[in-house]
């Protein structure tokens, strides 16, 4: 089965386009950001096909139902935004996806206190109904494809039930479920109430192939399936026997499009930001982090590590600047808002402690500023990527591709990207603040030859895995499995 012959249908919560209004109130479409949009769009642009996503906002809902065309002629595809009941959508997106599954799979709960699962039963019903709506839309699409084989790529924790719901309606459909985030191990999985836990696993096992970003997440999934009554798990062959079918568990590390990224970095907006950063940093060294302002990114320990580094290495006071570019995420939820506020307070405290008349240790920006992130990538001496757990982490790939200073990557062992890039980075246990501080010091002391060698190796490792390989490998695997 080659990608060229198949009609692709991608399903995800956040789609490749959304609707908004410009300053004068006119409706405008916006292209979504992030790795899924890039890799999914590349796959769909090659084969044509359809992307089904949730209508997430009022504006989206006003435009839902009709099919939109995205991309250029010959490399375009269609997008359909699903109209969903707003209160069900809230249960699905906030109640289950953001408050429960995100926390579970990234180990974010302060377990002596949380979770308590108040309201989960009600939220879960909304989650089921939204997953059902996706399965219905997909089935309708498969029926319309009529005879032409279609491959369904279902994305992420939002849509964990879709594979089995679709399998029930369309038993022969080739289905992949792919998780962009980590997958919890069996001990943590036991935090979830049993029926929810079993529904999630059984839901994903409706697929022919269950894909993950990194080997650890695939292993965790297999180990969790061992707790499912009636599932037979072959760890060595990464296979789960479930309801008389074999489900393959595979790893497909997502990548980036270096050429497109370089083009974006060559714009005047990025050049302007570069000049601005250079003015701020002067002849000091530059430490950078670029993240969504979100709990799994471990922003607080990153600042604490920097503080610890300054304390232990006073000769660096005034000779380094930390540019922290944080893009606000899910700020309508109190947990996420409080975290961003705590990060800002901590940066403020560190600045008050160490600042000098002509020097501020941390410059924190809490806004969506892509051109500035691109400029920071080009200029960093050290890039700090220290998530507690992360499915992949594309900052660790984007930075080295753009950087022009042989900058050093300090990388969490718990980021999926570590499997591909870890050898060329300085590895850190993200919980160990002292070790992270020491890694920053080592990076700054590293000689030019070693910096160059590591920077080149990082660039090669990223470009060796082209962005189109992600969907291509999934489709090929399906072809081998389905006769």
91 binds ligand G6P (CB under 6 A): no
The token duo for 253 is 């590390």
Contact 40, 254 (CB under 8 A): no
181 binds ligand G6P (CB under 6 A): yes
Angle (CA) 123 126 129, round 5°: 155
* CB of 34 or CB of 119, closer to ligand G6P: 34
* CB of 419 or CB of 444, closer to ligand G6P: 419
57 binds ligand G6P (CB under 6 A): no
Starting at the earlier edge strand, list the strands of the sheet with 426-428.
Answer: 362-366, 320-328, 285-293, 382-385, 408-412, 426-428
Query: Which residue in 60, 88, 156, 477 binds ligand G6P (CB under 6 A)?
Result: 156
Total number of residues that touch ligand G6P (CB under 6 A): 9
261 binds ligand G6P (CB under 6 A): no
* CB of 321 or CB of 391, closer to ligand G6P: 391
Number of neighbours of residue 431 by Cβ within 10 angstroms: 13
Contacts of 215 by beta carbon, 8 Å cutoff, 6+ apart = 251, 419
Contacts of 28 by beta carbon, 8 Å cutoff, 6+ apart = 19, 20, 21, 22
* CB of 212 or CB of 322, closer to ligand G6P: 212
Torsion angle, alpha carbons of 205, 207, 208, 210, to 10: -70
Binding mask 27-46 for ligand G6P (x = CB under 6 A): -------x-x----------
337 binds ligand G6P (CB under 6 A): no
* CB of 34 or CB of 65, closer to ligand G6P: 34
Q: In terms of Cα–Cα distance, which of 7, 50, 6 is closest to 17?
A: 50
241 binds ligand G6P (CB under 6 A): no
> How many Å from the N-terminal Cα to the C-terminal Cα in the chain?
9
Contact 2, 479 (CB under 8 A): yes
* CB of 126 or CB of 391, closer to ligand G6P: 391
Query: Which residue in 91, 177, 180, 454 binds ligand G6P (CB under 6 A)?
Result: 180
Q: Which 3 state secondary structure label does DSSP give 153? A: strand
Give residues 315-334 in contact with ligand G6P (rule: CB under 6 A): 329-330
Query: Which residue in 1, 14, 29, 115 binds ligand G6P (CB under 6 A)?
Result: 14
177 binds ligand G6P (CB under 6 A): no
Positions that interact with ligand G6P (CB under 6 A)? 14, 34, 36, 156, 180-181, 329-330, 391
């Amino acid at each position: 089965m080659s990608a060229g012959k198949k009609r692709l249908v991608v399903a995800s919560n956040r789609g490749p386009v959304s609707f908004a209004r410009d300053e004068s109130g006119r409706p405008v479409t916006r292209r979504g950001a992030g790795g899924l949009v890039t890799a999914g769009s590349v796959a769909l642009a090659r084969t044509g096909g359809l992307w089904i996503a949730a209508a997430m906002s009022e504006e989206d809902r006003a435009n839902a139902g009709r099919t939109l065309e995205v991309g250029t002629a010959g490399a375009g595809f269609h997008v359909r935004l699903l109209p969903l009941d707003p209160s069900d959508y809230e249960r699905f997106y906030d109640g289950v996806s953001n408050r429960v599954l995100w926390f579970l799979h990234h180990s974010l709960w302060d377990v002596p206190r949380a979770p308590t699962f108040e309201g989960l039963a009600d939220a879960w019903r909304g989650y089921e109904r939204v997953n059902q709506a996706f399965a219905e839309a997909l089935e309708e699409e498969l029926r319309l494809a009529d005879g032409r084989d279609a491959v369904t790529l279902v994305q992420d924790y939002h849509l964990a039930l879709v594979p089995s719901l679709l399998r029930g309606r369309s038993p022969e459909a080739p289905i992949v479920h792919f998780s962009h985030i980590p997958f919890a191990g069996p001990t943590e999985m036991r935090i979830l109430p049993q029926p929810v836990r079993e529904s999630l696993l059984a839901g994903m096992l409706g697929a022919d192939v269950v894909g993950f970003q990194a080997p650890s997440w695939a292993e965790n999934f297999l180990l969790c399936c061992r707790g499912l009554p009636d599932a037979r798990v072959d760890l060595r062959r990464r296979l789960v026997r479930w309801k008389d079918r074999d489900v393959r568990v595979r790893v497909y590390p997502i990548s980036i499009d270096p050429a497109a990224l370089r083009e974006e970095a060559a714009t005047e907006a990025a050049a302007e930001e570069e000049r601005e950063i250079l003015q701020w940093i002067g002849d000091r060294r530059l430490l950078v982090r670029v993240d969504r302002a979100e709990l799994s990114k471990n922003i607080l320990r990153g600042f604490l590590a920097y503080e610890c580094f300054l304390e232990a290495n006073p000769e660096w006071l005034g000779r380094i600047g930390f540019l922290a570019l944080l893009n606000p995420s899910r700020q309508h939820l109190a947990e996420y808002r409080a975290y961003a506020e705590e990060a800002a307070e901590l940066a403020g405290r560190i600045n008050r402690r160490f600042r000098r008349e002509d020097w501020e240790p941390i410059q924190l920006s809490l806004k969506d500023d892509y051109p500035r992130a691109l400029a920071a990538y080009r200029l960093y001496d050290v890039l700090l990527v220290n998530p507690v757990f992360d499915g992949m982490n594309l900052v660790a790939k984007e930075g080295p591709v753009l950087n022009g200073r042989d900058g050093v990557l300090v990388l969490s062992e718990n980021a999926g990207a570590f499997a591909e890039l870890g050898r060329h980075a300085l590895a850190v246990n993200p919980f160990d603040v002292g070790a992270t501080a020491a890694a920053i010091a080592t990076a700054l002391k590293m000689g030019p030859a070693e910096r160059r060698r590591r920077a080149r190796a990082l660039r090669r490792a990223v470009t060796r895995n082209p962005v189109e390989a992600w969907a291509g490998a999934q489709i090929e695997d399906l072809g081998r499995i389905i006769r």
